[in-house]
């Protein structure tokens, strides 16, 4: 089975062609072309939706042609066309999904509408055997959730952020420090340089509550207050480290709760860290240690599959096709909001 995937939900225009052979366990990426719009949005301090749509619109056709050429396949050999239907920015979702629908009509092959978050989670299964159910922490620019994946299309959310997503909090703190978007990698780099170990006493919101929810906007406000209080630039590495430590501590406490619950129910299993923030090496290291303590297998996608990419979309479509051969109705519209625990498209 060969599937073409399109990802245009935010600021990456990405197209991938992924193959899954019947006699093989895993998928192989025949090609992936990803064009990041970061440079275009940098000066605005975040993604500008209208600008993102224009960029997707002007580059998607070229990227599809390049991906086809690189894969050594032809459009005739593609078995299904898939695209992100949501969640994300409406303009980009419309451009990507309409292109996939058009190809599906022209070549008389199924159209598969993919949930972006499902893509982030399932892509780990493309080249590693991971059985359901598994526990997952999804941390991206738009979402922060702890969930149990029961099946490829059945997710139970145990907890989530009540305000900012974790990636968003990293981006906002970087912006407060005067850095450009995306802030996550910049904060991580700064934190690594911290030698002074100053304690700014940042809060760890919801750390003592029984639930598995998060709240990151208070930490960001606390950072702003530190900055407003005759802050010296030379101490910024310490502040970045304090921020990274505080949010990581929140993740660890809530994930430990989730692991206890998961193990009570299923005895053992895997813990998957997914989404853009999963690129953070400090967060990876700390969660890996927690998994070791809790006797759970720690799994994180390759760095290149943590950030937005079309391989994860094509792979999620393959998992779907392996379970049901039917494509989606071409009448369905993009969903800027599309929660993982309500994937039904009717
Ligand atoms: O999953 P993703 O590529 O896009 C969304 O679906 O949102 O995640 C992007 C987010 C951004 O907020 C970015 O700052 C964050 O992931 N991020 C990081 C790191 N690399 C990317 N956050 C913390 N540390 C990093 N190394
Ligand atoms: Zn994403």
Ion ligand 2, residue ranges at CB < 5 A: 140, 308
Using DSSP's 3-state secondary structure scheme, residue 208 falls into coil
Atom of ligand 1 nearest to the CA of 165: 12
Contact 163, 215 (CB under 8 A): yes
Query: 139-158, pLDDT tens digit by residue?
Result: 999 999 999 999 999 999 99
- Our mutation pick for probing the ligand 1 site, out of 191, 245, 276, counting the most ligand atoms within 8 A of Cβ, is 276
Query: 88-109, pLDDT tens digit by residue?
Result: 999 999 999 999 999 999 999 9
**Omega cis (within 30) before 87:** yes
Using the CB atoms, write b or e for 224-234: b if 16+ within 10 Å.
eebbeeebeee
Residue nearest to atom 8 of ligand 1 (CA): 276
Q: How far apart are the CA of 231 and the centre of ligand 1, in A?
A: 27
Atom of ligand 1 nearest to the CA of 142: 7
Q: How far apart are the CA of 171 and the centre of ligand 2, in A?
A: 14
Q: Which residues line ligand 1 (CB under 6 A)?
A: 10, 140-142, 167-168, 170-171, 182-185, 188, 275-277, 279-280, 307-308
Atom of ligand 1 nearest to the CA of 88: 6
Of 110, 92, 49, 55, the C-alpha closest to 334 is 92
Atom of ligand 1 nearest to the CA of 171: 14
Using DSSP's 3-state secondary structure scheme, residue 41 falls into helix
Of 45, 341, 304, 12, the C-alpha closest to 168 is 45
Unique residue bearing structure tokens 């999620």: 316
pLDDT tens across the length of the chain (346 residues)? 999 999 999 999 999 999 999 999 999 999 999 999 999 998 887 899 999 999 999 999 999 999 999 999 999 999 999 999 999 999 999 999 999 999 999 999 999 999 999 999 999 999 999 999 999 999 999 999 999 999 999 999 999 999 999 999 999 999 999 999 899 999 999 999 999 999 999 999 999 999 999 999 999 999 999 999 988 999 999 999 999 999 999 999 999 999 999 999 999 899 999 999 999 999 999 999 999 999 999 999 999 999 999 999 999 999 999 998 889 999 999 999 999 999 988 7
């Amino acid at each position: 089975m060969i599937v073409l995937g399109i990802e245009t939900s935010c600021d990456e225009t990405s197209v991938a062609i992924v193959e899954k052979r019947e006699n093989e366990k895993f998928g192989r990426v025949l090609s992936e072309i990803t064009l990041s719009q970061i440079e275009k949005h940098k000066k605005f301090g975040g993604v500008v939706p209208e600008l993102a749509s224009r960029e997707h619109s002007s580059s998607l056709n070229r990227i599809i042609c390049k991906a086809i050429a690189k894969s050594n396949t032809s459009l005739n050999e593609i078995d299904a066309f898939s695209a992100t239907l949501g969640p994300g920015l409406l303009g980009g979702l419309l451009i990507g999904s309409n292109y996939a629908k058009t190809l599906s009509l022209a070549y008389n092959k199924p159209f598969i509408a993919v949930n972006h978050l499902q893509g982030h989670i399932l892509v780990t299964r493309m080249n590693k055997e991971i059985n359901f159910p598994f526990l997952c922490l999804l941390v991206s620019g738009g979402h922060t959730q702890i969930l149990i994946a029961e099946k490829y299309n059945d997710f139970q959310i145990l907890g989530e952020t009540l305000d900012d997503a974790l990636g968003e909090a990293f981006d906002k703190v970087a912006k407060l420090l005067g850095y450009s978007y995306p802030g996550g990698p910049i904060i991580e780099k700064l934190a690594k340089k911290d030698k002074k170990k100053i304690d700014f006493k940042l809060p760890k919101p919801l750390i003592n509550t029984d639930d598995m929810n998060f709240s990151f906007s208070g930490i960001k406000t606390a950072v702003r207050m530190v900055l407003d209080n005759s802050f010296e630039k030379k101490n910024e590495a310490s502040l970045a480290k304090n921020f990274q430590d505080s949010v990581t501590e929140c993740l660890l406490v809530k994930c430990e709760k989730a692991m206890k619950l998961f193990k009570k129910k299923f005895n053992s299993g895997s813990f998957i860290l997914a989404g853009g923030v999963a690129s953070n090496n400090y967060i990876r290291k700390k969660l890996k240690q927690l998994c070791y303590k809790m006797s759970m297998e720690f799994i994180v996608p390759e760095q290149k599959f943590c950030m937005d990419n079309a391989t994860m979309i094509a792979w999620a479509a393959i998992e779907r096709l392996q379970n049901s051969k039917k494509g989606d109705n071409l009448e369905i519209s993009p969903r800027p909001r599309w929660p993982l625990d309500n994937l039904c498209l009717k």
